[in-house]
Amino acid sequence: AGWGCMIRVTQMALVQCLIYHTLGRDWRFNTRADLTPGATFWQLIALFMDTPSAPFSLHNIVREGLKLGKRPSEWFGPTSGALAVKSLMDQHGAQSCGLRCVTFPEGIIYTNEVLEAFSGVPRKEAADKAAGASSSSGGPSAPAGPSSSPSECPTADEPQAAQQAKRESSGPAEDVSGVVIWLCLRLGVDSFNVDKYQSPIQACFSIPQFQGLAGGGPANSAYFFVAANRENLYFLDPHSKCQAAFTEIPSPTAPEQLAAFACQVHPSEPRQLAWSSLNPSMALGFVCQTVDQYEDLCARLKAVDADLFEILPTRPEYNYEGGLKTDEEDPDLVLL
């Protein structure tokens, strides 16, 4: 019915984060090498098979969507997708290739929650460190190389009981080797505000930690945006023709099937969309492999647009003494 395109886009965005983390920015796809059973890329895409046992399958994202009030066949938005994936990564812990995940659906980054993901300490304890990290004013630095071992990734055919045992017996939180950050924004009411927001969003594509933008076009079509210039954004399209279901990876002994499969999991070229056609709702994906990289990301975002990319040490707590008061003439109006 067309309702699953944002789920596929969310999968695209997450697998890009995993590829960056395990294979690095300089990795280039090679059909024969990367689709050999046991290869790192092979292990990564197996996590997204269309089977309930795969950690990040369509089935499991739909299941998490139910918790968000999204029934099967109802449209996901970028924020719903990011929240669903965050829940799945929480369930699989550091077995998600050493990555943890934080999602900011309100469009504000809270540093103590990122530090908690790195260290595993409660947010109140992380808050003391957050102020220092959030106020770091050092200049941008080159990102460090990938630090995760491909062997940390579970395979899709691994029994769920075995995966659960791994999670329960996993090492301390310090073994976490990176954090995925989803920043959810709405940049316009009915349409994307090109005059105000094109420049800062375009600048994100030059930030080393940036992995792409999960968003869409003007007609409820979801796309994964991987590049941009002054005229257009460039995206991978989940609506492209593909096999009925991704339940297996063809054997290297069947070269024709393997070549066709390679075109589906790794399209050769993106499509383009004018900035004026971009949907205002989006989720920006970032990967930070160290706290230093997170501090560097904060510095870069502030340099791009400190008003748009708001970064706070902790989430504010609002306390109302004596309860809320309502206007006598208009009971729907709350007086603070």
pLDDT higher than 50, residue 146: no
User: Quick check: 284 and 248 in contact, CB under 8 A?
Assistant: no
Span 63-77, average pLDDT: 90
**145: buried, middle or exposed (CB in 10 Å: 19+, 13-18, 0-12)?**
exposed
pLDDT at 73: 83
pLDDT higher than 50, residue 151: no
pLDDT at 276: 96
Domain parsing of the chain, residue ranges? 5-335
Specify which of 56-70, 72-86, 117-131, 300-314 reaches the highest per-range mean pLDDT. Answer: 300-314
How confident is residue 186, by pLDDT bands cut at 50, 70 and 90?
very high
The pTM score is: 0.80
pLDDT digits (tens, 9 = 90+) for 303-322: 999 999 999 999 988 766 65
Question: Lowest mean pLDDT: which of 14-23, 204-213, 223-232, 236-245?
Answer: 236-245
pLDDT at 268: 78
Span 321-328, average pLDDT: 58
pLDDT at 260: 84
pLDDT at 173: 41
Q: Average pLDDT, whole number, for the chain? A: 82
pLDDT at 242: 60
275 vs 331, residue with greater confidence:
275
Quote the longest CA-to-CA distance of the chain.
Answer: 77
pLDDT higher than 60, residue 149: no
pLDDT at 281: 95
Question: Lowest mean pLDDT: which of 29-38, 111-120, 263-272?
Answer: 263-272
Span 293-310, average pLDDT: 98
pLDDT higher than 90, residue 243: no
How confident is residue 157, by pLDDT bands cut at 50, 70 and 90?
very low
Question: Lowest mean pLDDT: which of 149-163, 224-238, 278-292?
Answer: 149-163
pLDDT higher than 80, residue 139: no
| Count of CA atoms in the C-beta half-sphere (13 A) of 149 | 3
pLDDT at 264: 80
Span 117-130, average pLDDT: 60
